[in-house]
Structure 1
Amino acid sequence: MPDRNNTGLIALARAGDTAAWHELVRRYARLVWAVPRSHRLSPEDAADVCQATWLALAENLSRIRRPERLGAWLVTTARRETLTVLRLRGREAPLDGWEVADDGPTPEDAALARDAVLWRAYATLTDRCREILRLAAFAPELSFTQVAEAVGVPVNSLGATRGRCLALLRRRLGVEVAR
């Protein structure tokens, strides 16, 4: 395939010829790699840019109108991807090493604490409310009719009853959080 021009390779790649695709990548891989590295991106970020560039080509193979200018298209695409990475990286706050300040509970501890507050508030509800909310949370496949029958309320009042139970739970959560 090295003897084929870009027009032929692109046509074959559009038709699903992996050898043609590999030849395009072989021809332009160093050029695509050079763009993010010339902007001093790390090898990892440069690899991400290259991958995004090749993906863009794969998604746009049918839109390439001037195959002889494929190199310029790839450079432009790689430059745009590089600038996106640089813009996003500017929003990141680097850490000094891998140490993270121990300023409080871990995310896991915070989630467990919220979970405990929820269960304490849930325990204060009536049996009917607990059953309705339990079925809504753990058996979402049940129809309104099935839930109404299981709880012993009329079908047409289940929605309003559930709404009142949720409102009560929210209020009780507010009280628990305020403690």
Structure 2
Amino acid sequence: MRDDPTVVDLVTRARDGDKSAWDELVVRYAPLVYSICRRYRLPQPDIDDVGQSVWLRLVEHLPGLREPAALPGWIATTTQRECFRMIRATSRVEPVDLADSPDVPEQAIAEEEVLRHERGTILRTAFGELSRRCQQLLSLLMQDPPAPYDEISRRLDLPIGSIGPNRARCLGRLRQTPALLRLAADGPDGPDGPDEAARR
């Protein structure tokens, strides 16, 4: 995940003036910007302002970005700074739930946000590689609260006794998707959730 060749390629092309590469960078990292803003509990107009500021700063700094693979961390850190600037400008009380301790360095918080974003992206990619039937079943099992088995049986025309075995097969396929296999090869900390949520 750290040296994603797709990110390096997009940054290189965007530097060279490729508008489609720039657009793809914005689409790829807009959810990261949004999720950080939501953790600061900013209202939507302020989120929009922060997003505009982040992308304007990226336009200015993209030519000087020495390591293209570091772009996600740069975006996370810049978004945090813009959120703090927005809070100070509007005299809001700073939120206290961004880290367990105020002593946590800004870079560590940015890294956590980037990892969460990357894992979510990988999990969505892996989920998209499953059959529609598996996607439907796992979606029903992972919603909050999970759909009751009798409802799943009715909606998917599936005997109640086969829901558990089908869930196990779908999770097995999910673990074997290229996206999750790459994530597992990158380190022990996989994305939170598919197994745990589907067990409920």
TM-score class normalised by the smaller sequence:
0.3 to 0.5
Report the structure number with the largest CA radius of gyration.
Answer: 1
> Structure 1 length as normaliser, TM-score?
0.47
